[in-house]
Chains A and B, each alone.
Chain A
Amino acid sequence: MTTDRICKRRQKELIDVFYNEKTMNKELEKHLENCNECRTHWKMLHDLKEGFAALDIPTETDIRIIREAFQIVDETKRVHRERKDFIIFLILATAIMVGVVCSAILGYSIAIIITLAAFAVLASFGVPVLFIMKLKREDA
């Protein structure tokens, strides 16, 4: 192996040692003592650490950003929930409409009218009750 290749390998090992991935062994230590180029490389690593320390700025926690992140997640969840509710409503409404139309075609018009009337009576009582319950749940 040529001296140049040995030094390149040693310099890679020195980076590993510098960043605590390896421990300095006798062989490497001896090479470092006798090789100017590798000593310069070793010094450069220390200089690099010292130089780049200037970019290690202490940063503070911005609680506002964290709170906003929670708000974004809440809003996204709300939109998803509303979309899901709307899809369920759409499916149910379509199923009811299909049922009504099919029944009418099959000659059950009177039964449909009675069912719809019963539904209207139930809804006129049920919807306000459900609305109040929902408001109470939101308050809680």
Chain B
Amino acid sequence: MADNDLIEKAKSGNRWALEQLLGENYHIVYGYLLKLSMNEEVAKDISQDVMVKAITNMHRFKGDSKFSTWLISIASNTYKDSLKKNRSVPVDMEELNLVSSKNTEEDVIQKEHIRQLKQSLSELPESQRKVFILKHYYNYSYEEIAGILNCPLGTVRSKLHYGILKLKNLMKLLNGGV
């Protein structure tokens, strides 16, 4: 079934359609929150809050953006709220299961590389990190990001530029280049 049909059905209260839509887009929300928080538990908790908000506010979805974009927008606000509540989200440098469990030399190097990436990403201010993730991993346009984060387009551009420059310097500091 096409996404538009599912959206219309979900808006009119069809639970199955809404479950399908959320199921199709869950990995986007979770992946975004995982990169943002770098903590699996936190990402899961906030993802659930996002799902609850999406179910509650489905009737408010206007359809002027993609459904996934709407969810990302909810995820951004929910993450911001959770930061306000908890002051800071603990970054777990070892937690993400990105490489195989075999302790080969290659794995150790890869783990160290990932640790450095996470560390440098976590050094970015939250707003720059959000813009970088949305642009770098999800390829949203400046306009879409401005809509998601509810800020001017120029701000998005400058946050990305400053974020990238900071990452460049951080990576240089950590290992003399990416």
Contact = CB atoms under 8 A, between A and B. Distances in A.
A100 to B, nearest CB: 41
Nearest to B29: A59
Interface string B23-46: 110110011001100000000100
Contact of A21 (B55, B96, B142): B142
Q: Would you call the interface of chain B mostly helix, strand, loop, or mixed?
A: helix
Given A21-B141, A61-B23, A62-B30, A51 B171 contact: yes
A78 interface: no
A57 B96 contact: yes
A12 B52 CA distance: 39
B31 A61 contact: no
Contacts, number: 96
B114 A50 contact: no
Interface stretch (A63-71, A101-109, A124-132): A63-71
B93 to A, nearest CB: 12
Q: What's the interface size class on B, roughly?
A: 35 or more
B69 interface: no
B47 A65 contact: yes
Nearest to A72: B52
Nearest 9 Cβ contacts at the A-B interface: A69-B51, A51-B178, A47-B178, A61-B26, A59-B27, A59-B31, A73-B55, A69-B52, A59-B30
Interface of B: 15, 19, 22-24, 26-27, 30-31, 34-35, 44, 47-48, 51-52, 54-56, 96, 98, 110, 113-114, 117-118, 121, 135-137, 139, 141-142, 157, 160-161, 164, 167-168, 171, 177-178
Given A55-B121, A69-B54, 19 more contacts: A16-B157, A19-B135, A20-B141, A21-B141, A47-B177, A48-B136, A54-B113, A55-B98, A57-B31, A57-B98, A59-B30, A62-B26, A62-B44, A63-B23, A65-B51, A66-B26, A66-B51, A70-B19, A73-B52
